[in-house]
Amino acid sequence: FILHSFLFSFQLVIMDYEEISKHNKRNDLYVVVHNKVYDITAFLNEHPGGEDVLMDEGGRDATEAFEDIGHSDDARELLEKYYVGDLDPKVNIITFICVRETIKKPIPAAKPISSKDGKASTNTRYAATAAD
**Overall average pLDDT of the 69-94 stretch:** 86
Within a domain: residue 21? yes
In a domain, 72, yes or no: yes
Q: 129 versus 33: which is more confidently predicted?
A: 33
- The count of domains in the chain is 1
Provide the CATH number for the domain around residue 23. 3.10.120.10
Inform me whether the pLDDT recorded for 46 exceeds 70.
yes
Q: Is residue 69 part of a domain?
A: yes
Q: Given a cut of 80, is residue 75 above it in pLDDT?
A: yes
Asked whether residue 3 carries a pLDDT value surpassing 50, the answer given is no
Where is 3: in which H helix or E strand? helix 2-9
Range of the domain at 66: 11-91
For residue 108, the Cα-to-chain-centroid distance in whole angstroms is 24
The answer to the question of residue 59 being in a domain is yes
Interval 98-125: pLDDT, tens = 555 665 666 666 666 555 666 655 555 5
User: pTM for this one?
Assistant: 0.62
One-letter amino acid at 85 equals: G
Residue 30 within any structural domain of the chain? yes
What pLDDT does 13 receive?
A: 85
Q: Calculate mean pLDDT across residues 62-66.
A: 94
